[in-house]
Amino acid sequence: MSNRNKGILLLLLSAFGFSLMAAFVKLSGDVPTIQKTFFRNIVSAFIAFGFVQYHKERLFGKKENQKLLLLRSSLGAVGIVLFFYAIDHLVLSDADMLNKLSPFLTIIFSAIFLRERTRVFQVVAIIIAFIGTLFIIKPAFSFDTIPYLAGVFSAFFAAGAYTVLRVLGSREKFYTVVFYFSFFTTIVLLPFVIGFYEPMSVKQWIYLLSAGVFATVGQFGITIAYKFAPAREISIFFYSTVVYSAMISIFLFGQIPDVLSIIGYVIIFAASFYMFLKNNR
């Protein structure tokens, strides 16, 4: 199997992992968002800890990379809390697609903070993608819009985290970065979980622990996939999460996206596909 095909398969596996993570988060019910985020990350921290120990790497990375690791973890922590809030209050596929704005936002942040060159076709794709979000959000300037805004801002913070990862590059091993992020988020959220802890049933424990396992599958899958092939060649396959999430929404939760949301999905996917084709050229 070629490295490109390995990358595609890993990206499809990663997308499936993240989709199941979102499904288990939603299945866990009325548990506070902070508590859900905590359990998702503590599981990831334990799994990543095993990888770091196995490969005999530094748990917290190199001294010169601490600022970057802290910044990546801080942005990622806020992003995942907002994403989980959106999952709890929206149709699953809506929340997932809004979070998928992050690749477009990463282009903007890379241009601003890393001085990377932005091409005309990338600007066109970004504009098209944002038009697509309007179909999903359907702005009404009411409290009903808040979960949609949480989904959009989760993409902003995720894009910030991915931009920092571009700077980290090969300076740190991927399992060290995953452990650092998961451990940091767990420690930061711990006081809030202790202060506002809501008792959970056995089923809710299973759902949230499963969310943590599949989140780790997703995280490792996407990281390793981009080691086999450049993002510009395979990134389009990560949008399969929306297909998975839409199917889960319909068959597991009985939530059917409305026509405007589906139009929004098509527009955002078209923008991504257009950028994918241009990048490959």
Render pLDDT for 227-254 as a digit per residue (tens, 0 to 9): 787 666 777 788 888 888 888 988 888 8
What is the pTM (predicted TM-score) of this model?
0.88
Residue 130: partners with Cβ closer than 8 Å, 6 or more residues away: 101, 104
Render pLDDT for 124-142 as a digit per residue (tens, 0 to 9): 988 998 899 989 888 766 6
Measured between alpha carbons, how far is 104 from 109 in angstroms, rounded to an integer?
A: 9
| Between 276 and 55, residue with greater pLDDT | 55
Mean pLDDT of all residues belonging to the chain? 88
Cα atoms in the Cβ-side hemisphere of radius 13 Å centred on 252: 18
- Given pLDDT bands bounded at 50, 70 and 90, which one contains residue 143? confident
Render pLDDT for 45-96 as a digit per residue (tens, 0 to 9): 999 999 999 988 888 999 899 999 999 999 999 999 999 999 999 989 899 8
Determine the average pLDDT of the residues in 139-149: 80
Q: Write the single-letter amino acid at 100.
A: K
Residue 174: the pLDDT is 81
Q: Is the pLDDT of residue 8 over 80?
A: yes
Residue 50: partners with Cβ closer than 8 Å, 6 or more residues away: none
Measured between alpha carbons, how far is 276 from 281 in angstroms, rounded to an integer?
A: 9
